[in-house]
Amino acid sequence: MYKSIQGVGLGLRRDMLSEIQQGCKLDVDFWEVAPENWIKLGGSYARQLADMTSCYPFTTHGLSLSIGSPEPLDLQFVKAVKGFLDTHNISLYSEHLSYCSGQGHLYDLMPIPFTEDAVGYIAQRVKQVQDILERPLILENVSYYAAPGQELSELEFLLAVLEEADCKLLLDINNIYVNSVNHQYDAESFLSAIPTKRIAYGHIAGHYNEADDLIVDTHGADVIEPVWKLLDRAYGLHGIFPTLLERDFNIPPMEVLMKEVDRIRQIQNRYSTHKITA
């Protein structure tokens, strides 16, 4: 039986394992890992992760599926992800609504053209992945810095993909804020247009201000006040959905990191609306 996720989560890094398993009491309801960072690991890391996944609910957030790539899907990779999910009894696999390969790996998340043709192309690939995984594929709204060949707005494109692929959404609050500044739209209006039924869980993170009108999504800084307020608004609109703090570098000591985890919980506790579990 899969463990459903709810409440507040944190991205698991390998250097956290020893601290956690030495008895550090952390008020974390669920954890998230990138399968690519763990699939090939054996020895103590594999044993430690197995211990963790037997005790806590887990979700996964991939880095290299490349759902929008012009290249064929890497089916061997998808099968390896399925094996990882099966081994650790994890039901949720999320990925970015973007691509990172084309005649080789690009080592960055590239924007998919916001077109009707791309919607159909992605929906077909999502269904192919889901057939192999025997699980739903959850797609994350991503930050982007250019929109080549754009025919649809970001929102129109996102909603069309979710509908045609009939898949769930990983709602990244920081990415909405980043894009609203970079592309000059109203973040709350974007948020209110998201169908509640599509939300599987959420992400919140920090970013870097390159200029007044350019923000870079880095996951390497503290969450700022406007993003906290947008998370609060998201719960007001959609109910309390499981929400995870992302921090990929410049990672502070655990007691500092837990202050942001606790702040997510404090915001959740202010709402008495229905809770979404995944």
Q: What is the DSSP string of 171-217?
A: EEHHHHHHHHHHTT--HHHHHHTS-GGGEEEEEE---EEEETTEEE-
Instruction: Dump pLDDT digits (tens) for 37-53.
Output: 999 888 888 898 998 89
Cα separation, 149 vs 206, in Å, equals: 29
What is the structure's pLDDT at 198?
98
Please list, in sequence order, all residues whose beta carbon lies within 8 angstroms of the beta carbon of residue 186, skipping any fewer than 6 positions away: 180
Among 23-27, 172-176, 234-238, which stretch is predicted with the lowest mean pLDDT?
23-27
Mean pLDDT of 198-221: 76
Is residue 264 very low, low, confident or very high in pLDDT (cuts 50, 70, 90)? very high
For the beta carbon of residue 95, count every other beta carbon within 10 angstroms: 24
Mean pLDDT of 131-142: 96
Cα separation, 260 vs 244, in Å, equals: 10
What is the structure's pLDDT at 2?
80
What is the structure's pLDDT at 251?
79
What is the structure's pLDDT at 19?
73
State yes or no: pLDDT of 91 exceeds 60. Answer: yes
Cα separation, 114 vs 187, in Å, equals: 19
Please state the pTM of the whole predicted model: 0.91
Cα separation, 265 vs 268, in Å, equals: 5
Instruction: Dump pLDDT digits (tens) for 93-133.
Output: 999 998 664 554 544 566 788 999 999 999 999 999 999 99
Cα separation, 243 vs 43, in Å, equals: 31
Identify the structural domains of the chain with CATH numbers, from first to last: 8-269 (3.20.20.150)
What is the structure's pLDDT at 207?
63
Instruction: Dump pLDDT digits (tens) for 237-259.
Output: 999 999 999 987 777 888 888 99
- Residue of 125, 11, 105 whose CA lies nearest to 60: 11
Residue 220 burial by CB count (10 A; 0-12/13-18/19+): exposed, middle or buried? Answer: middle
Mean pLDDT of 28-34: 96
Helices (H), 25-115: 43-55, 75-87
User: Residue 199 forms beta bridges with which residues?
Assistant: 169
**Cα dihedral sign, 176-276-29-35:** negative
**Residues present in the chain in total:** 278
Average pLDDT, the chain: 88
Is residue 278 very low, low, confident or very high in pLDDT (cuts 50, 70, 90)? confident
State yes or no: pLDDT of 73 exceeds 80. Answer: yes
**Cα dihedral sign, 249-7-268-263:** negative
What is the structure's pLDDT at 20?
77
